[in-house]
Amino acid sequence: MIGIISAMHDELAELLLILKNKKTTVLGNREYYTGTLHHKNVVIVFSKWGKVAAAITTTQLISSFHPSEIIFTGVAGAINQELNIGDIVYGTSLVQHDMDASPLFSKLEIPLLNKTYIETNSNVSLFNSVTHFQTSYFKHIPKKEAEEFGIQSPKIVKGIIASGDEFVSDAVSFNNIKNNIPNLQCVEMEGAAVAQVCYEYNIPFNIIRIISDKADHSAPIDFPVFTKKVASKYAKGILENYCS
């Protein structure tokens, strides 16, 4: 069974529409949707925002549904200034940008785990599904909707994703995070927590983030509209192909 997580309902709304044999299980004030995508068993859940919520959701998912792998998807703010709205970040490792237990541990290091960065699982098939989505982009996203957000030719970037319990929206926070984590691609609020849970439970984990804005808000957009109209179609297109 494949576990699929996002922070918000709208990020996976399109995927839920094509889920077959759907059954809903309520655990810990969250709805876990089980069913099939092209004959592959999946469980889909919305974690809510933040690292604690994401860790609770992931732990419950592993304990109750025993997934063979977990994939997180959703939107993120760009730190790499070469990223634009609509681009895809395929995470290679995750770090908590607000973790600081110094001087007992190095800044950003997870206490007692002896790790700062948690690597994702090597998954060629999933990355190929991301690439396939990119090359057939306008089969999934109407050009009118893409143009509404200035999306012309989205690119895929592999790299580091940072998580923290902070909605990064100003230049000071942006620069602090960027300076502390070299080669960082984007920032969000859940991925590193999910990665840590998966690491400790030895569950393969991958993450796909869609750039919805510049994290310093230099290029603001209508976030809810982007998530509903565009980001949810990314998840559907990529994961439907992956499960086929």
Q: What is the pLDDT of residue 217?
A: 62
**Is the model's pLDDT at 216 over the cut of 70?**
no
Please count the structural domains in the chain.
1
Let me know if 119 is a catalytic residue: no
Instruction: Answer whether residue 37 is part of any domain.
Output: no
Question: DSSP string spanning 158-203?
Answer: EEEEEE-SS---SHHHHHHHHHHSTTEEEEESSHHHHHHHHHHHT-
Is residue 236 in a domain?
Answer: yes
**Higher per-residue pLDDT: 114 or 173:** 114
Among residues 10, 11, 87, 190, the one annotated as catalytic is 11
Helix (H, G, I), strand (E, B) or coil at 12: helix
pLDDT at 215: 60
For 9, residues 6+ apart whose C-beta sits below 8 A from its C-beta are 46
**Rounded Cα distance, 54 and 58, in Å:** 6
Query: C-alpha distances in angstroms, 41 versus 12, 33, 34, 122, 207?
Result: 16, 11, 7, 21, 19
> Is residue 63 a part of any domain in this protein?
no
Q: What is the mean pLDDT of residues 46-66?
A: 97
Distance separating alpha carbons of residues 162 and 152, to the nearest angstrom: 26
Q: Which domain holds residue 183?
A: 72-242
Radius of gyration for the alpha carbons in the chain, expressed in angstroms and rounded: 17
**Is 77 within 8 Å of 66 (Cβ atoms)?**
no
Q: Which two tokens stand for residue 205?
A: 């984990």
Residue 218 has pLDDT above 70, yes or no: no
16 in a structural domain = no
**pLDDT digit string (tens) for 133-169?**
999 999 999 998 888 888 989 999 999 999 999 877 7
The catalytic residue among 10, 190, 213, 216 is: 213
Is residue 219 over pLDDT 70? no
Inter-helix orientation angle 51-65/191-201, to 10° = 30
- CATH (domain of 97): 3.40.50.1580
The answer to the question of residue 134 being in a domain is yes
Determine the pLDDT at residue 224.
Answer: 78
Residue 65 domain flag = no
What is the pLDDT averaged over residues 119-130?
Answer: 97
Strands in 10-117 per DSSP E: 20-27, 30-37, 40-46, 69-78, 88-96
Q: Is residue 47 part of a domain?
A: no
Is residue 88 in some structural domain? yes
Report the distance separating Cα 22 and Cα 165, nearest Å: 32
To the query of whether residue 11 is one of the catalytic residues in this protein, the response is yes
Across the range 67-79, mean pLDDT stands at: 95
